[in-house]
Amino acid sequence: MRKNRRYILLAVGIVGATALAAIGPSGPTPDDGAALHQALADLKKDRLQEAENLAMRLATEGEKPYPRAWAVVAAARQRHGQYASAVRAYRLLLGSTNSPQIREYVMAQMAACEAALNPPSAQPYGKRLTASDRAELAQVEEQPYTESSEHFVIRAKNSRLAKLLATESEVSLERVCRVIHAGEAYPHSVEINVWADPEEYAGNAKDPRPWACGSFSIYTRDGATVRQIDLTQRDKAGQFSADMLDRVLPHEMCHLILREHFGDATCPLFLNEGLAMLAETEIDNARILLAGTALASKAKIPLESLLVRQGDDLKKPEVFYAEAFSFTAYLHSRLTAEQFRDFLDNIKQGCTVADALQRALYSPHDDKFLAEVASAWEDHAVTQAQYLKALRDAATGRKTPENWNPR
């Protein structure tokens, strides 16, 4: 409990809100304790060089160096934009603590530094569109246009959108294959139909779903297998649906590829939806927040029931989707590509999730395995949500309540 609170305060403090003084116990001597408070105060006031120098002295010099001070060195460097040297300081901090909460926080900061050093080449396409792009892409012309790419044939009543989808669908395919670690090149062709609005989609899509604006289907036409994705160009308000590019297209494509991958075998709903959400172009922080908050409250769906839940018994669909995403992303990040592929193959062969995981990890069967995985995942999900909440509160200037500690 106390550790958790300290972790939250550490996170909040380092991202610039209040409560810096509560970073942890004072230094080994009263003088060092005062120096640490001074370094924290410098950090808070953006006197980054002073904070770094003072904390560096505490971390490395004196009779009893105080390694926790690397947190201040690292944060000062990170804020300065010196990401590579910030990562070195975070590593030293990591080596000095066994606290899972602080380790989790440090890993997140290191990931943020790495991301700043290697920015992704492009934002999701939908985010890069200007108002005039959107207006143009919302236009519905008389005749449909057909465009083709290596794996897709696209029909849309907007020539620019058809061309755009020819490129973006290949980008999505690459992402989906990376997420499910399907090593080989995708051998099929997929038809993509873009309907003008939700009404046209509902009336014409092969297998429309009333609550969605996109779907996939696999069926036979003239003796040949047809793979089809139906999408909607405009939302209910008549605006171009950028979500269609960034979310619906990769999501439905992932479902389609998983359906073929599993054949007659059943892919558990949590995994099917979790992977489809993971294939979307942008991580949805709302899902991470909801998963962590639900797991720490009465709304929690325990892992055991998450794994076996079916579409017709979804009482709390938002929580189910958030936890399904969180758990799938957790497994995906903890397993190597080979292990994850083995895990999917084991599921396909009819193993339970626990057995499929143990086999993929070459670990002997253990009845307590699933409970241990559940506990590690829940800790991770709750910490992730706390971290996001601390960042959000820091950005809005809101102080994280000290009693916001769901575990």
Q: By the criterion CB under 5 A, which residues form the site for Zn ion?
A: 273, 276
What's the half-sphere exposure (Cβ side, CA atoms, 13 Å) at 17? 20
CB of residue 321 vs Zn ion: minimum separation in angstroms? 8
Which is nearer to Zn ion, 116 or 212 (by Cβ)? 212
Query: Phi/psi of residue 119, each to 5°?
Result: -65, 145
Measured distance CA(39)–CA(49) in Å, rounded:
10
Which is nearer to Zn ion, 122 or 286 (by Cβ)? 286
Measured distance CA(193)–CA(119) in Å, rounded:
33
Concatenated DSSP letters for 332-390? HHHS-HHHHHHHHHHHHTT--HHHHHHHHTT----TTHHHHHHHHHHHHHHHHHHHHHH
Helices (H), 118-208: 125-128, 131-137, 159-180, 198-204
Which is nearer to Zn ion, 52 or 280 (by Cβ)? 280
Which is nearer to Zn ion, 152 or 216 (by Cβ)? 216
- The CB-nearest residue to Zn ion is 276
Which is nearer to Zn ion, 273 or 342 (by Cβ)? 273
CB of residue 264 vs Zn ion: minimum separation in angstroms? 20
CB of residue 229 vs Zn ion: minimum separation in angstroms? 12
Which is nearer to Zn ion, 72 or 276 (by Cβ)? 276
* Residues in the chain, overall count: 407
CB of residue 273 vs Zn ion: minimum separation in angstroms? 5
Q: In this structure, are residues 294 and 319 in contact, taking their beta carbons and an 8 Å threshold?
A: yes
CB of residue 198 vs Zn ion: minimum separation in angstroms? 17
What stretch of H or E contains 84?
A: helix 83-94
Closest CA to 272 of 327, 198, 192, 337: 327
Residue 216: strand pairing partners: 229
CB of residue 278 vs Zn ion: minimum separation in angstroms? 11
